[in-house]
Amino acid sequence: MIEVPYILAGALTGFVVGLTGVGGGALMTPILLLMFGIAPATAIATDLWFAAITKVAAVAVHHRAGQVDWQVARRLWLGSLPVALAVVAVVALGATIQRVSWLTQVIAWVVALTAAGLLFGPWLVRRLHTRDLQPSPRFMRVQGPLTVAAGGFLGLIVALTSVGAGALGSILLLALYPQRLPPHRLVATDLLHAIPLAVVAGLGYLVAGMVDGALLSNLLMGSIPAAIAGSYAARFSPPAWLRTALALVLAATAVKLLTV
């Protein structure tokens, strides 16, 4: 059954994902919770698959433009996928996540952290993207392990809340690869990393029967074409203004979630 409000919500989120690499979970999960009254576990489960499929459409455009750094993505996967699999095992074995009363609060705090990352991201770029900044040999030796550890952190957060792969991932990549990943390359690599992470994290929820297939179908009707359009638009417009606006919306959303 076609539900226009869900399609429009998917289109909005898909365009933001394509343009900035952010919003698959940070925007869609709060929309499902606050606007449509979806139960937290169902919102997380459905949003993980929504994010994975939407980001496939977006990353295909970035990949054709040669923007993906596969080595960095592989390092993140080494950390994120095993941790996400551990959460999947817990969910698939019948964890009582459906009845976790504090799940909305966890999502709220992760959304707030995501908003802070979006707001301070441009400042971090200005601090780190300087001509004379060169990574020290000591930092280069630990850069790989630190990236794996960052992936593990993202795997835990995303598997529990469906939020964070985009915004938190981009902030961590900015800190770890200030010279190697300029903005468009960072967005593409962050999107690529998020796809298998969302799939792996979503498997447990799928097995547990928490994914709403009808809801997911409606969201994807809007998100896939919008994500492609946003990815093309990212080539011609700086997304900084949209990231700032999104951060303010997410901050207000976090406050709302914390007061529900």
Residues 6+ apart with CB under 8 A from 132: none
Binning pLDDT at 50, 70 and 90, where does residue 101 land?
Answer: low
∠ CA 216-221-225, rounded to 5°: 130
Residues 6+ apart with CB under 8 A from 233: 15, 18, 19
Q: Domain of 45?
A: 4-258
Residue 96, amino acid: T
Give residue 214's pLDDT.
Answer: 95
Residue 54, amino acid: T
For the chain, how many structural domains are there in total? 1
Mean of the per-residue pLDDT values for the chain?
A: 82
CB burial of residue 131 (10 Å; 0-12, 13-18, 19+) = exposed
> Which of 9-23, 38-52, 187-201 shows the lowest mean pLDDT across its residues?
9-23
Q: Is the pLDDT of residue 127 over 80?
A: no
Alpha helices in the chain (DSSP H): 4-20, 28-30, 40-64, 70-92, 103-128, 137-161, 167-176, 183-207, 213-233, 240-258
Distances (CA, A) of 79 to 11, 139, 146, 181, 197: 31, 19, 10, 19, 10
Q: What is the pLDDT of residues 145-158, one digit of tens each?
A: 999 999 999 999 88
pTM: 0.80
